[in-house]
A and B are shown apart, each in its own frame.
Chain A
Amino acid sequence: MDYLQQFCQQTLNGMSLGSIYALLALGYTMVYGIVKLINFAHGDILMVGAFVSYFFLRRWGITPVTLMLSFLPAMLFCLTLGVLIEKICYKPLRDQPRINTLITAIGVSFFLENGARVIPGIGPNPRVFPTLSAVNYTLFGVNISQVQILVFIVAIILMVLLNYIVSFTKIGKAMRAVSFDKGAAYLMGINVDRVISFTFVLGSSLAAAAGILFASSYPQIEPYMGTMPGMKAFIAAVLGGIGSIPGAVLGGFILGVAETLAKGFLSSQLSDAIAFGLLIIILVVKPSGLLGKPMGEKV
Chain B
Amino acid sequence: MSKKMKTLVSVLLVALFLIFLNILVALRVIDEYTTQVLTIAGINVIIALGLNLISGFTGQLSLGHAGFMAVGAYTTAALMMKLNFPIFFAVIGGALMSAMFGFLIGLPTLRLHGDYLAIVTLGFGEIIRVVMINLPDITGGPAGLKGIPTYTTNFFWRPVLSFALVYLALALVVLFLSNLLKSSHGKAIISIREDEIAANAMGINVFYNKIFAFTISAFIGGLGGALYAPFFGYLSPNMFNFQKSVEFLIIVVLGGMGNLTGTVLAGIGLTYLQEFLRFLKDYRLVIYPMILIIVMIYQPSGIMGLFKNKEFSITGLVERLSGKGPSREESSDQAGDVQ
Contacts and interface: CB of A to CB of B under 8 A. Distances in A.
B116 A110 contact: no
A69 B96 CA distance: 58
B275 interface: no
B232 interface: no
Contacts of A272: 126, 130
Contacts of A115: 286
Q: Is the interface of A mostly helix, strand, loop or mixed?
A: helix
B213 interface: no
Contacts of B282: 114, 117-118, 124
B199 interface: no
Contacts of B134: 269
Contact of B297 (A93, A106, A284, A287): A93
Contacts of A117: 282, 285
Given A99-B59, A280-B123, A104 B285 contact: no
B65 to A, nearest CB: 13
Interface residues of B, number: 38
Contacts of B120: 276, 279-280, 283
Interface string A245-279: 00000000000000000000000010011001001
Contact of B197 (A89, A108, A283, A297): A297
B292 A103 contact: yes
Contact of B118 (A93, A102, A108, A297): A102
A135 interface: no
Nearest to B290: A111
A114 B242 CA distance: 14
Interface residues of A, number: 38
A238 interface: yes
A104 B292 contact: yes
B122 to A, nearest CB: 8
A234 interface: yes
A299 interface: yes
Contacts of B243: 110
A92 interface: yes
B61 A110 contact: no
B119 A38 contact: yes
A283 B296 contact: no
A107 B243 CA distance: 11
From A110, A234, A284, residue with most partner B Cβ within 10 Å: A110
Contacts of B116: 238, 283, 287
Contacts of B137: none
A100 interface: yes
Nearest to A235: B119
Nearest to B117: A283
Contacts of A96: 300
A107 B296 contact: yes
B286 A114 contact: yes
Interface stretch (B21-29, B107-115, B171-179): B107-115
Contact of B249 (A92, A103, A283): A103
B246 interface: yes
B300 to A, nearest CB: 5
Interface in B249-288: 249, 253, 282-283, 285-286, 288
A81 B116 CA distance: 26
A115 B290 CA distance: 10
Contacts of B135: none
Contacts of B249: 103, 106
Interface of A: 36, 38, 88-89, 92-93, 96, 98-100, 102-104, 106-111, 114-115, 117-118, 124, 231, 234, 238, 269, 272-273, 276, 279-280, 283-284, 287, 297, 299
Q: Which 4 pairs show the lowest CB-CB distances between chains A and B?
A: A107-B292, A110-B289, A114-B285, A276-B123
Given A99-B59, A109-B289, A280-B108, 7 more contacts: A93-B296, A93-B300, A117-B285, A118-B282, A273-B127, A283-B116, A299-B197
12 contacts: A38-B115, A93-B297, A104-B297, A107-B293, A109-B289, A110-B246, A110-B288, A231-B119, A276-B126, A279-B123, A280-B123, A287-B116
